[in-house]
Chain A
């Protein structure tokens, strides 16, 4: 059943992508470029940086809020993402125990700081990537890739993969269901049966590819997947990218958090 969950989750993510807010309507290229710049900037922050990472939450939070993406859904998806980074990062506090900073009399080790840093980066990168799909749609991202110069053969793969992902996953789910129904938990999950199931799925996939190819030929396919000239980058897109760059530059190179902290301390104190 865990797989079903996974599957339905991407179904939901996919559905969100067909929303109609102005974030959704931005040119996919501008969102792809902005996201990549964002990721690079976040990742470029030094190992022990914690406080300076916090302003970067503004970007995903703004995007999610403006595009009407339910925050809880994105958060839940973040939890089921492979925890590799966290598993690796959790070793840091154990290994790097040198005191790096003393705050209000409490010594904090370098490992602890770098672990927090990894956690924050994890949240920022994963959340923003999910938001890219949730606001752009997968076909949108593909079109953006193509127009940003990614080889068209590769992009065609991606589009077919996306289109048939849902079809084949449902097929696989129905196969699993059929097996479950007639196996009573007793047998039916051995490698031998498994290999046949996957083999069958494979054969049917190949047959399906054949039928798809026939359908493509029937509609004049000549070896290249044609595309229509899509939307042009509008003023809104340029503005969006420019704002993003400004935002990234500001938070990357100016210690904003610290300043705000001082200010707050000043006000309080």
Chain B
């Protein structure tokens, strides 16, 4: 459920980038002071482990389909929140770069959804209290299942929000939610079981490993926890603020969907959009043309005062299509030309 570049608006993308960049800086800073330098290769190799473990699969009982290990939760348990967050961020970066899974702009969203929640929210406030000292396999199981499920629910919910706020998708809020949450509930529960299994296995096989890892991660001590919490809260407020400002100025996403679901059926024939001269000027000069100076007010009003997008005029649009075809053809020719030239030269 990686958020993808293609669904993203620059505002949402850059906001979450800023948020996660700040947390990355914070985590690195924290970690630099805390860890013994043995942890550096360990973290890196565990990131690779997360990938490698996904190559091993199991059959989910009764379904015949197969599952594999997630990541954020097990890392948090094994490494503590800061290190786990950085590893998860690295894993997602590699996915974005190597697999183009998610994408570079969406990296901020994905790190937020899959890294921040499990490491900084669920692990300290849900997993730790539930698992207690982590000595009882039963408690570890409960804690893992609940934590993994909650973390993924939060992540999935964020994907919904991020998508709708970006305004590229027409999916109504509720339908989208109904699509995402139940699937991720199942995935989360399965992941929780596996996480608990692996943790308990490691505990019985090599108890010293968990002990030594626990020793090099003092987050359990609550002074730091409070700071983490404060930072998290500030970031949440900032992000929330930006997002909601953005949502309020950008009605074609969330509001429109909600409105649509709540049944104001008198939907206009023509789409909303950017029409006035000012706005066209805006579009041509601003980097984020959609988002600034968008007229307040709801969809219906907007639709009334604006002609259909983009000034429906057969000529212009036909010109657009023809132009697109010509452009694509030229691009293709350029590519092929260079290729055959290179081929002849080498």
Interface residues of A, Cβ cutoff 8 Å to B: 3-4, 6-7, 10, 13-14, 35-36, 39-41, 43-44, 46-48, 50-52, 54-55, 57-58, 61-62, 64-66, 68, 71, 77-78, 81-82, 84-85, 88-89, 91-92, 95-96, 98-104, 110-111, 114, 117-119, 121-122, 125-126, 129-130, 132-133, 138, 141, 150-154, 156-165, 167-169, 171-173, 175-176, 189-199, 201-203, 205-206, 208-210, 212-213, 216, 221-223, 225, 253-254, 256-262, 264-265
Contacts and interface: CB of A to CB of B under 8 A. Distances in A.
A101 B321 CA distance: 12
B167 A47 contact: yes
B339 interface: yes
A122 B7 CA distance: 8
A154 B24 contact: yes
Given A39-B103, A165-B94, A157 B168 contact: no
Nearest to B193: A191
B18 interface: no
Task: List the 5 closest pairs (A to B, CB-CB), nearest first.
Answer: A160-B44, A261-B323, A195-B197, A194-B58, A261-B319
Nearest to A21: B342
B90 A39 contact: no
A61 B335 contact: yes
Contact of B94 (A89, A162, A212, A223): A162
A223 B342 contact: no
Contact of B56 (A47, A98, A150, A176): A176
B56 A203 contact: no
Contact of A62 (B31, B91, B335): B335
Nearest to A80: B99
Given A65-B342, A158-B93, A265-B322, A95 B100 contact: no
B334 A129 contact: no
B67 to A, nearest CB: 9
Nearest to A42: B5
11 contacts: A14-B98, A48-B273, A66-B338, A78-B100, A82-B4, A96-B170, A98-B267, A101-B309, A102-B312, A153-B28, A154-B24
B14 to A, nearest CB: 8
Contacts of A103: 314, 317-318, 321
Contacts of B94: 138, 158, 161-162, 165
A157 B42 CA distance: 9
Interface residues of B, number: 119
Given A121-B6, A191-B58, A104 B90 contact: no
Contacts of A122: 4-6
Contacts of A82: 2, 4, 101-102
A91 B170 CA distance: 7
Interface in B18-77: 24-25, 28-29, 31-32, 37-38, 40-49, 51-61, 66, 69
Contacts of A159: 44
Given A98-B270, A119-B6, A257-B320, 11 more contacts: A48-B309, A51-B324, A54-B328, A78-B100, A84-B3, A125-B103, A154-B89, A157-B89, A191-B58, A194-B197, A265-B322
Interface of A is mostly: helix
A170 to B, nearest CB: 8
B197 A65 contact: no
Contact of A7 (B55, B270, B285): B55
B277 interface: no
Nearest to A44: B10
Given A81-B100, A81-B101, A101 B308 contact: yes
A117 B48 CA distance: 35
A151 B24 contact: yes
Contact of B40 (A14, A71, A138, A225): A225
A10 B66 CA distance: 22
A201 B100 contact: no
Most A CB within 10 A of own CB, among B3, B9, B49, B331: B49
Contacts of A36: 104-105
Interface string B319-346: 1111110111001101111110010000
Given A151-B25, A265-B318, A129 B271 contact: no
A40 B105 contact: yes
Given A125-B5, A198-B198, A201-B53, A10 B98 contact: yes
Contacts of A132: 97, 104
B39 to A, nearest CB: 9
B281 to A, nearest CB: 10
B104 A129 contact: yes
Contact of A133 (B66, B97, B176): B97
Contact of B7 (A88, A158, A196, A262): A88
